[in-house]
Each structure stands twice: as C-alpha cells, then as structure tokens.
Structure 1
C-alpha cells in the first residue's frame, strides 16, 4: 500500500468541521469533485455509501464503508468496490483541536494500483493529491463560513402532474441530446454517455433577456425513477448547483419534479446584480431563473408524455 497525508488548519471548532464531514449526502454541494452520494445502508456509526466523483477527466464511482466516531473526531473509510486503476483505497479523516479555536484536519489515504503498475500509481497519486487539496480547501472555507452558510444555500422544487406513463416522462428527461429540438431555451447540447447511466453534458442556454450562457454537468441516471446532476461549470453567481429530476406514480398519472440546490457566491453578487445588491436578492434571482427553465422543461415533458400516451409522438 502507498500512504499519503494531507493537512490543513481550519479556524473553526472541531465539531463544526466534523459535522460537515459526517453527512456524506451533502458533499456534492460542499466539495467540488463530488457529483453524487447515495447512502446504501446505515447501522449506527457504520454506513455504506456509493460515490460518483470527478477524477481527472473521468467520472469514477465506488462503494465505501465508513465508520463515524464523533467522540474521537475521526471518520474511517474503506472502498469496498474500487474502479480501475485503483485496486484498493482506504483512509481516515482525523481532527484535532488546537489553541485559539483552530482545528487541525488530517486526511489520510492508503492505496494500491491494479498490478502495481507505475503509470497507474502515478495517476492515482496525482488525482488523490488534487482532490484532497480541493476537498480540504473547500472544507476550510465551509467551516469558517458556517455561520453564514444557511443564508447562502437554498433548495427549491417545482412539480407538474402528467396524464401519462413514468417511462415516457423519464425518456424525455433522459434523452437530453434531443433538447435543442424540444426546448426553446436550449440552443446547444453536447452529451456523452461512455458508462450506462452516467452522462456528461455541455449545454448553451438562452436566458429570458436573450443572453446565452454555457454550463457543464454530470448526470447520474436511475431508470424510470430519477436523474441527479451536478454542474461542474457553474455560472459566476454560484459556487455550487446540484439538482434532481424525479418521477413518481400518483393518482391521475405521473408526478415529475425538478429540484435545485444552489450555493450563492457572495463576492460575485455586486458585479452581477449591481452595487448594493444583497444575497437575498441573489437567491431570488437564481431561483427565478432556474425555476423558469425547469418549468418550461416540465411542461414540455408533460406534452411529450401525454402525446405519446395518446398515440402521437410530440
């Protein structure tokens, strides 16, 4: 095994830092490399989670076992199913309170490459170093701004009920490569799906005032159930944007929901919304823009599914 440590000092209480690490399902909003986390099992201090994350130019997924120990401010992890070129990976988050309210955070990794191949080892070392530094920097920023974080993060959703089948609604959302022909606000879509159910999409969107902006997202698709995503290239107003398209059976057809979670970048607010603009105004601006586009997509998904059900393709 190859052992490596990364350390950072955080101007926050150890419990504040620990709480950010303990809830893995919130990592996509907190940590830039993390796309999505599914909690598979939980039994007291132990949990099994599946993680999708950006690793270099690729999207990797693995299943990990974690043991959380709030008493000793430590979280141990071990990948149960690693993706090549990683043969095995384990480690720990270890926190120690220092003087003046500072917390030392140590992120430990032990790893082995498939076949102990030197090129594979070099790739793992480079990605582990890059992601560890990014995660620790994110953690420091989050913990030191914890008091203001509740104002910066918002979650909202929109729902429509479709007189149609779940499979047809899901099909419209899944086949995003066809959105430029189906949605008026999508001007361009480049979509790749090298691994079934994991999509990388770059999209040009036309805003209400006629401007155009480009976003890049990773989507993880759960057939006929939901599509979760994270923007890995976000508009300047945000530090993070995650979301979910969810389809469920209800009386009268299918409920389809668009959910967004957004983290506002406060220092960008004056330059985008004008001097004197507040975070509250930025929250409303982001909600109005994202909800507007989502509702357009929901209404077109509704028309598509109801048209399909009636026997005519929309």
Structure 2
C-alpha cells in the first residue's frame, strides 16, 4: 500500500517568446497535442462540462506506450489547466499536476509544469522509473510547446488524404491494416517489420521500407487501434526529412454496402536537412512534394492491397 510519504512532486519551467494567450490556447486544445508534444500519440476529449473535461491520452514514456484517462479543469483567467489521472497505468499509482502560463510581457511568458505522483507498488525502482519519465516528458513537452508557440516564418505543417472504395467489410479492411506483423509478406515496399502489443489495441510498429530509388528507411510508430473504424499512429523514429509524422487509417461504412477507406498524413518538414537529402537546389516546397509523393505512394499501395484482400475474402464467402 502506498503512503503519502511516497508522493513525489516536481516542477519544470521554460520561457517562451510568444504571447501568453497563444501558449495557453495550445495547452488547452488537447486534441491538437500530437502535433505539438513529441510524447503524445493521440488525445481525445471524452466529455466536457463548462471548464471541466475528461480526456484520454496515448503517449510514450521511457520508450514504452501508455494510455490513461485524466480529468482537467481550465482556468482561463489565471491561464492554468489542472489535471488528475482517473485511471493510471502501471507502474503509476496516481498522478496529477498543473500547467501555469505567466505573462512576462505582451510577447513573452513563462510556463510552469507541475506534477505530483506516486507508484502503484512499494518498489523504489517504480518511483524512479516514473520520475525519469516525468522529467523526460516534461522537458520535451516544454521545448516543443516553445517551438510551436514562437513564430517561425513559415508553416511547415501539411495534411493530405488518399481514399479508396472497397466492396467488402470494415472488419476485413481493419484486419489487413491491424495485422502489421504480416506486412513484410503482404506489402512489397516493406522489407522488415516488428510489432509489439502488450496492451490490446496499443501497438509499437517498427518497419524498414524501401523507396523507388532503392533507399531503405527505418521508422518506428505507436498505433492506437479501434476495431473496426480507425488506426491512429505517430512515428517516434522518423526519416531525415521529417520532424513530425502523424497519420490515421479511417474506415467508414457506405450507404448500400462496402466501405470507404482513407489514409491521412500530417507532416512537418525538417528544413535543416532539405539540401542534405534532396540537393542544393531543393527548397521547402520541393521537400513537401517529395514527402507527399512518397507517403501517398506507400498509402495507395497499402490501400490497394487491403481492398484486394477484403474483396477477395468477401467473394470467397459469397461463393461458399
């Protein structure tokens, strides 16, 4: 049984060259967190009542994938958001804290991130594991918050979709996309694949993919899988040209039968490596188009094979 003496408190802070209102808005908008905070894979508001809300987060911690539910309360006047986990995941026994945005001037503010937490067991190693995760994630999140809030001169975020219609069932399409451990056998552009799934529906997927020019890229993603409607993912090991890549597979029932399947990508280009990867003449637009074509090409290949798999299985059942 954990006692109050085992509760640990931490505080991290950072200065941001941006108006406090802008920074507070990024903290308050939890559904935008995957594009702001590196550890956050997916975030949803489950319920909202005035300034109170229940959110569910999927994130990485010390290299592992975790999910939990928290209750948050917004205080726009103080520009603070308090939070308390309702359902923590081992080894965390309980955790809460607060974001506080303090204006320094019209164009600068200080952000403090406070945590209090205890372990689910009396093992000191568990408390140390949580402390390392809180330190690492807090520092990463504050740096990322500053990067997102401060003006950069160009918006490097792009989003694009690819969609196919499938005369088959949502389950068959979902199974094809969910069973990524089989992709090296099913997808010609996947040379190697490794899939971990300690928590049902929460996967860590590592792949070696081959481009048309023969280059091999290793990526590692965390995936949140929802039968039979969606798979949301975020790459935590990225190719050189990207600093952010989130995506989702969306499966939607069609009136009259069949499904529509969409692959959606959101990408931020790593401007510091454009010329290194694409040559001296390349610019941001060149890199965005290169990445869009590469990702769309792989997505359309996967969608085409998922379509063939679902329609073939549907046909087999109809003939049996």
Shorter-chain TM-score tier: over 0.9
TM-score normalized by structure 2? 0.93
The counterpart of 2:104, out of the listed 91, 98, 109, is: 98
Structure 1 residue 286 and structure 2 residue 291: aligned? yes
Q: Which moved more, 1:41-50 or 1:59-68?
A: 41-50
* Residue correspondence of structure 1 range 83-162 to structure 2 within 5 A: 83-99=89-105, 101-145=107-151, 148=154, 151-162=155-166
The counterpart of 1:298, out of the listed 287, 296, 303, is: 303
Structure 1 residue 255 and structure 2 residue 260: aligned? yes
1:209 corresponds in structure 2 to 213
Name stretches of at least 5 consecutive residues in structure 1 with no aligned partner.
none
| Deviation of the 1:100 alpha carbon | 6.9
| Deviation of the 1:286 alpha carbon | 1.1
The counterpart of 2:203, out of the listed 199, 202, 206, is: 199
Partner Cα distance (1:276, 1:22) in 2: 40
| Deviation of the 1:147 alpha carbon | 5.4
| Deviation of the 1:67 alpha carbon | 1.3
Structure 1 residue 4 and structure 2 residue 10: aligned? yes
2:20 corresponds in structure 1 to 14
Aligned-partner SS, 1:208: coil
Structure 1 residue 63 and structure 2 residue 69: aligned? yes
2:79–2:101 contact (8 Å) kept in structure 1: yes
Name stretches of at least 5 consecutive residues in structure 2 with no aligned partner.
1-6
Partner Cα distance (2:73, 2:91) in 1: 25
CA-based RMSD of the aligned residues comes to 1.6
TM-score normalized by structure 1? 0.95
The counterpart of 1:48, out of the listed 26, 45, 54, is: 54
2:279 corresponds in structure 1 to 274
Number of equivalenced pairs: 311
Aligned-partner SS, 1:130: helix
